[in-house]
Amino acid sequence: MKWPFFKSLPEEPSPGDGPDISLPAVSRGLPALRLPVNRAVRSDGADLANTVHECLDATYKTYGAAALTRVEILFRSVYAIDSFVTNGGFDAYFADCDDPHEWDNAIAGLKAMHQPQAARIVENARQVYQTTLPSDDADQATVRAYFEGINVFNQQWFDLDLNFNAVLSAFVDTHYPWA
């Protein structure tokens, strides 16, 4: 069963993408809907992205990642990559967020948000990070080459000049089941 708020997402969520939280099926025989644990209210504020992020952060801290729906996982992953890369570059993102599944979610989220160029930059930066990250005992030339390579993608990210707040807000406004 496809969830109603996943109409344009590239893949259907798999079991384990959130708890089994359902509303009873209505008398017309419609299937039960699985809803997020802590939903934001549309009138909580004008800044949709931050409003939803705060709500998801509370859910994640209280219940863990399994409590999030696929839309929430993608949203949270794109929010994180934008925050990390904007404030410290891809090296900071990959170092602080060392789960390859999270990287996959960020790429999938960017694609779901119709940002294929940003997704390609993340894929390319990930490739450089995974193949050329120097070891602790690497010489200075190796370390310098790595940072020069990763900084190319930092610059490409900034050159996109995307308003991620607007991108994330449009995504949640389209796909998020408001309370």
Contact (Cβ atoms closer than 8 angstroms) between residue 11 and residue 111:
no
* Residues near 156 by beta carbon (within 8 Å), at least 6 away in sequence: 121
Q: According to the model, what pLDDT value does residue 12 have?
A: 43
What token pair was written down for 113?
Answer: 């948000």
Q: According to the model, what pLDDT value does residue 47 have?
A: 78
| Widest Cα–Cα separation across the chain | 69
CA proximity to 7, closest of 179, 128, 178, 174? 174
Q: According to the model, what pLDDT value does residue 100 have?
A: 93
pLDDT, mean of residues 107-135: 93
Q: According to the model, what pLDDT value does residue 41 have?
A: 58
Q: According to the model, what pLDDT value does residue 59 have?
A: 86
Q: Which amino acid is at 84?
A: F
Angle at 81 between CA 108 and CA 146, to 5 degrees: 105
The per-residue pLDDT for range 41-96, each reduced to its tens digit, is 555 555 788 888 888 888 888 888 888 889 889 999 999 999 999 999 999 999 99
- The full 3-state SS of 5-73, as one line of letters, equals HHCCCCCCCCCCCCCCCECCCCCCCCCCCECCCCCCCHHHCCCHHHHHHHHHHHHHHHHCHHHCCHHHH
Select the more confidently predicted residue: 16 or 127. 127
Q: According to the model, what pLDDT value does residue 53 have?
A: 87
Domains of the chain, earliest start first? 4-175 (1.20.1420.60)
The per-residue pLDDT for range 124-177, each reduced to its tens digit, is 999 999 888 888 888 888 889 889 999 999 999 999 999 998 899 888 888 876
Supply the pTM of this predicted model. 0.74
Select the more confidently predicted residue: 91 or 17. 91
Burial bucket for residue 50 (CB in 10 Å: 0-12, 13-18, 19+): middle
Contact (Cβ atoms closer than 8 angstroms) between residue 5 and residue 71:
yes
Select the more confidently predicted residue: 27 or 139. 139
